[in-house]
Amino acid sequence: MEDKDLLTLFREEGRENYAFNLIVEKYSERLYWHIRKLTASHEDTNDILQNTFIKAWNALPQFREESRLYTWLYRIATNESLTFIKRAKLKAMLSLSDYSRQIENQLEADCYFDGDKTQTLLRRAIMKLPEKQRAVFNLRYYEEMKYEDISEILDTSVGALKASYHHAFQKVQEYLKESV
């Protein structure tokens, strides 16, 4: 079902739950993997995904379709992920632990990841990026999104995104060179 059809169905009285379930079904997996690449933890990803859909459910009646549904959902998911990461960093700082080390430990202990050494190094390199660069890199590299769509999701200019992606790509390349 197309997004327009889902939104039309959502606006029909008595069909909200059905339409929203279709939206969740359509976007759950894509959003899960987007969030997962930002947070590295299966449990945290599930919590953030749930929060994303709760926020979407609450805001969908006011959704004016000024952006596409999928970019709107990605924006919510990205914002929820970045907020989670900021809180986790603050919590780690207050407990005097190292958030970066916690992320590396999660990557090493991730029973859901079965990649080879190269894929593991790539994931480590990406997780070392600042949050916004990580989001840009993941959306462009893995999701293969157009800069215009990423611009809607992250609410920034295409030029700034291209620069951010370029810097992120260089950092990832440098990390991989040093690690090999």
Residue 113, pLDDT score: 52
Residue 107, pLDDT score: 58
Q: Where in the sequence is the domain holding 45, given as residue range(s)?
A: 3-179
Q: Compute mean pLDDT per 10 residues along the chain, 180 residues long, and list them.
A: 94 96 97 91 94 97 92 96 87 61 60 66 87 92 93 94 96 90
| Count of domains for the chain | 1
Residue 160 maps to which CATH number? 1.10.1740.10
Least Cα distance to 158 among 130, 131, 139 occurs for 139
Residue given tokens 């990205």 in the structure block: 78
Give the number of other CB atoms < 10 A from CB of residue 15.
Answer: 13
Residue 33, pLDDT score: 94
Residue given tokens 């739950």 in the structure block: 17
Least Cα distance to 34 among 144, 159, 143, 163 occurs for 143
- Residue ranges in 63-154 assigned as alpha helix (H): 69-94, 99-109, 117-127, 131-137, 147-154
Q: Phi, psi at residue 88, to the nearest 5°?
A: -65, -40
* HSE toward the beta carbon, residue 140, CA cutoff 13 A: 22
Residue 70, pLDDT score: 94
C-alpha span between 66 and 74 (Å, rounded) = 14
Residue 41, pLDDT score: 85
- Number of residues written out for the chain: 180
C-alpha span between 150 and 132 (Å, rounded) = 11
Instruction: Quote the Cα angle for 107-111-116, to 5°.
Output: 65
Residue 24, pLDDT score: 98
